[in-house]
Structure 1
């Protein structure tokens, strides 16, 4: 298994919401790839092709920073800490993960 895939499927540790939002945050202000493991599948969540791990089901992989836009070639000011923090505290317009979770939970939560 390639090293990057193994790191996503078998991480050395999981970082909790309280860890991410603590100061100082253990999440580095650097570029990288991150993964979200869920211990419960949400209603309507497609699971085909997903991986079950000892930490739950791997359902989301993100990258920070994004590639520079082709239109202006400006580098991103995002990093792992900012992206993951935004998933927890931001809004759905800035987080594909939040938007998807909100869409899946909307029928259940009304």
Structure 2
């Protein structure tokens, strides 16, 4: 393996190694049924790189490229609110079967894939939440089931593990919050902001996203 600053920094970090050298990668249907109902960190690998993402220096496992790491729950706030009770299983279900309003990863990917698969961000329902309207969320479901694989590791304070990964210089081009690499974050932030502005200028619609049905399982 080509040695970089981040490989040397993380080589003795067991949490990082669980993400970087997983025993296996899980399909969407496996992740949404077997992921732990505990706090932790998860890594997203893809066999297709969305247009506009530079992944030449990203970590790879065979044909799969690590593009994103997430955590559940988030770091506790300091404003007196009770800490989140979210866990890895709940968060992965939101990423794989939720909508852009509840998943920043879905929002980012849908904006990147708009031309390819037809995910158009719109304001929907009584609250005007932003989602990829019917059939956009379903199309994104299918893309994720086909092209994403997941690994996770339990951790009592996952925000600390995530910070260590990002601070190491590990390229994670789909991460925005906390990512010190402006070359990754600036274009994604601009892309998402443009999609939101366009949606705000379009009429509110009543689309609920349509019926959601798990896509046919993809082998591999």
Please give the secondary structure, in 2, of the residue aligned with 1:5. helix
Larger radius of gyration: 2
Moved more, 26-35 or 12-21: 12-21
* Residue matched to 2:64: 56
> Does residue 1:70 correspond to 2:78, yes or no?
yes
The answer for unaligned runs of 5 or more in structure 1 is none
Cα gap change, 1:12 to 1:55, in 2 (>3 Å): farther
> Does residue 1:109 correspond to 2:117, yes or no?
yes
RMSD: 1.6
Cα gap change, 1:48 to 1:94, in 2 (>3 Å): farther
Please give the secondary structure, in 1, of the residue aligned with 2:34. coil
The residue correspondences of 1:74-89 to structure 2 (distance < 5 A) are: 74-89=82-97
* Residue matched to 2:29: 18
* Residue matched to 2:14: 3
Number of equivalenced pairs = 107
The answer for unaligned runs of 5 or more in structure 2 is 1-10, 119-220
Alpha-carbon distance between aligned partners in 2 of 1:28 and 1:108, rounded to the nearest angstrom: 33
Alpha-carbon distance between aligned partners in 1 of 2:68 and 2:52, rounded to the nearest angstrom: 15
Higher RCO, Cα 8 Å, sep 6+: 2
Measured after TM superposition, the shift of residue 27 of structure 1 is: 0.8
Cα gap change, 1:57 to 1:75, in 2 (>3 Å): same
Alpha-carbon distance between aligned partners in 2 of 1:81 and 1:55, rounded to the nearest angstrom: 25
Please give the secondary structure, in 1, of the residue aligned with 2:101. helix
TM-score (ref. length: structure 2): 0.46
Alpha-carbon distance between aligned partners in 1 of 2:20 and 2:114, rounded to the nearest angstrom: 28
Alpha-carbon distance between aligned partners in 2 of 1:85 and 1:31, rounded to the nearest angstrom: 14
